[in-house]
Amino acid sequence: MAKLAHLRAVAPRPPATLNGKVPAVPPPRRVPNRERRTREHLTPAEAERLIGAAGKVGRHGYRDSALLLLTYRHGLRVSELIALRWEQVDLKQGLLHVNRLKHGVDSTHPLRGPELRALRKLQRDSPSSPYLFSSERRGPMTAANVRKMTARAGEVAKIGFSVHPHMLRHACGFKLANDGQDTRAIQHYLGHRNIQHTVRYTELSPERFKDFWRD
C-alpha cells in the first residue's frame, strides 16, 4: 500500500484542459530588434568586413561575397536579390536593372569595376543557371540560405552583434546620405515610392551637424 501511494504521489498529472481540450502553448515571444542591437545598419567599414568575411565562409565563398557586395551597393532586399536573373545584367554596358518589390519603383543602376569582375566570374562558374546567385542545383538561393550565410559572415567578421542581410540595404542608404547625395536621387536608387522612407537616412546623417562646433 505504501508503494502504491508513493507511485500515485509521483505520477505525472494530466495537462490542464479548457472545454475538454488541451490549450495550445503560445510560441516564444520574438525579441524586438532594439533589444538585440542598438542599430539596424552597418557602417561602410563593417559592410566591407562582412563582404570580405563571406568569402571565407563555406564552399561558395566567392558567390557569397559577390552576393553581399551587390546587396550593399544596390540596396537590395533579400527577395530582390535572390530573384536576380542574368537577363537583368548588361556586362558590356555595365548596367543592372533592379526590379523592386513591395510596390517599389524599378530602376537601372550602373555597375562598377568590383561588381563587374565578380559577376563575370560568377557567370563563368555557373553558365547554365538563369540566376545570378544559384544553389548547387542551379536554382535560385533561398532567403533562408542568404540569412544564414550573412549571420555566419557577421560572426567571422566579428561585427559584435547579430547581422541580417537587410542591414546592408540600410547601410547603402546611410552611406549615400552621409556622402551628401541628393535625397530624391537616393529615393529612386532605393526604389522608395514614398520619400518619407528615404528621409530616415538623411535625418540620421551627421553631415548637417559638422559645422556646429569650430575648434
Please identify which of the residues 49, 77, 100, 175 carries the catalytic annotation: 77
Would you give the DSSP letter of residue 15?
P
Known catalytic membership, residue 192: yes
Question: Is 85 assigned a catalytic role?
Answer: no
Catalytic, out of 102, 112, 138, 193 = 102
The values of phi and psi at residue 107, to 5°, are -160, 165
Active site residue 170: no
* Catalytic hit among 60, 169, 170, 175: 169
Determine which helix (DSSP H) or strand (DSSP E) holds 97, and give its type and residue range: strand 95-98
* DSSP secondary structure letter of residue 161: S
Catalytic site residue 102?
Answer: yes
Beta bridge partners of 134: 140
Of the residues 109, 147, 152, 166, which is catalytic? 166
Tell me if residue 77 is catalytic.
yes
- Give kind and range of the element (H or E) at residue 98: strand 95-98
Encoded amino acid at 122, one letter: L
Active site residue 169: yes
Cα separation, 84 vs 91, in Å, equals 14
Catalytic residues: 77, 102, 166, 169, 192, 201
